Structure 1
Amino acid sequence: MSPPSRSSDEPRSAFGGSDEAHNFRLHDLVASRTLIDSSWYLIGRAEGILMERHQLTDDQAYAWLVRAAQELDKRLVEVAAHVARTSPPDEVVVDLRD
């Protein structure tokens, strides 16, 4: 059985698909990368806040975020966003040190 024929005027990508499909995949990759970058920025910001408020190391702050996310059954970035939104230090009432 032979592959379906393509019309000669349908554009092809260097990757074997149509240009439109390639552009769609490229857009998805860029959007994913932007989301990942913004998530890591937010997590880093929350780490910095915890480090400053509670004199934690970066590893301790990250471990606290991970533990809180697991205990609350939330995504890490959601917990980080909550920490970043809170401004008064006394709003974080959990003992952060092991």
Structure 2
Amino acid sequence: MSLLEVSADSTAERFAQLSLDLHDSVGLEETVQAVVDFALQALDCSHAGVALVVNGRKLEIPAVTDPVVAEIYAFQVNGGNGPLADALRDHSTIHVRHTADDDRWPEWAAKVLDLGVRSVLDVPLTTAAGTVGVLGLYSTQPDAFGRDEEAIAHILARHASIAVATARHEDNLAQAVDARKLVGQAMGILMERYHLDDDQAFAVLRRYSQDTNTKLRDVATQLIETRKLPH
């Protein structure tokens, strides 16, 4: 067996293990953390992180391997130009072979150089709904990501995209179930206190939700905690 075949077999085994790890992950943050931890092993990069789009606009940083990545993301999230925004906007992979030679984002390049980063690969996480985030890979060595590494990064990004979409769907379902339980409990309090039927109790909650511009779940929570409806 050739060295190339051994390497391919090893990578396949690692992705098989990643699939199991992602399946066993509980919640979005644990899922994304499994992805960045895997990136360090499979791609031999120095640092890795994931930035996710929340509610279509806001950026959230659920997982990084170390403070270096947190600083790089914070610079861009707080308004500094960099490849992260371009990867999200253009749904494209951005490859910086050497941060000392790249002049596309001068302030960002100076920042990452100061942190010891010499090469960067930002790969968008894309689902049927669009780009949901970016997988960022960083190395202290220049030109650390060749054609093979980029191919592996794209496979990893596909795994991550599916895992993130699944985790978010499960989180949304869990929140919906929790909200129904809270609303049901709040309705029970109103029905007992004011001798209402279930339709009337729900109408009261909905009216307070609309009048106070408060989510129905939050109205129910306040009623349960204080035994009073919001003013």
**TM-score after normalising by structure 1:** 0.71
Residue 169 (structure 2) aligned to one of 29, 33, 39: 29
Q: Which residue of 2 aligns with 1:7?
A: 151
1:79 to 2:223 alignment? no
1:66 to 2:206 alignment? yes
CA distance in structure 2 between the aligned counterparts of 1:47 and 1:55, rounded to whole angstroms: 11
How many aligned residue pairs are there?
A: 82
Residue 19 (structure 1) aligned to one of 141, 159, 164: 159
Q: Which residue of 2 aligns with 1:42?
A: 182
CA distance in structure 2 between the aligned counterparts of 1:10 and 1:29, rounded to whole angstroms: 23
Identity %: 27
Instruction: Give the structure with the higher percent helix.
Output: 1
Q: Which has the higher contact order (CA 8 A, sep 6+)?
A: 1
CA distance in structure 2 between the aligned counterparts of 1:8 and 1:82, rounded to whole angstroms: 49
CA distance in structure 2 between the aligned counterparts of 1:19 and 1:63, rounded to whole angstroms: 44
CA deviation after TM superposition for structure 1 residue 77, in Å: 1.0
CA deviation after TM superposition for structure 1 residue 86, in Å: 2.2
**TM-score after normalising by structure 2:** 0.32
What RMSD over aligned residues (CA atoms) do the two structures have, in Å?
A: 2.5
CA deviation after TM superposition for structure 1 residue 9, in Å: 8.5
Q: Which residue of 1 aligns with 2:192?
A: 52
Q: Deviations over 1:27-73 (max 9, x none)?
A: 11111111111111101110011001111000000000001111112
Cα distance change on mapping 1:75 and 1:9 into 2, 3 Å: closer
CA distance in structure 2 between the aligned counterparts of 1:79 and 1:33, rounded to whole angstroms: 20
Q: Which residue of 1 aligns with 2:40?
A: none
CA distance in structure 1 between the aligned counterparts of 2:224 and 2:183, rounded to whole angstroms: 9
CA deviation after TM superposition for structure 1 residue 11, in Å: 3.9
Cα distance change on mapping 1:86 and 1:23 into 2, 3 Å: same
CA distance in structure 2 between the aligned counterparts of 1:55 and 1:27, rounded to whole angstroms: 41
CA distance in structure 2 between the aligned counterparts of 1:82 and 1:55, rounded to whole angstroms: 20
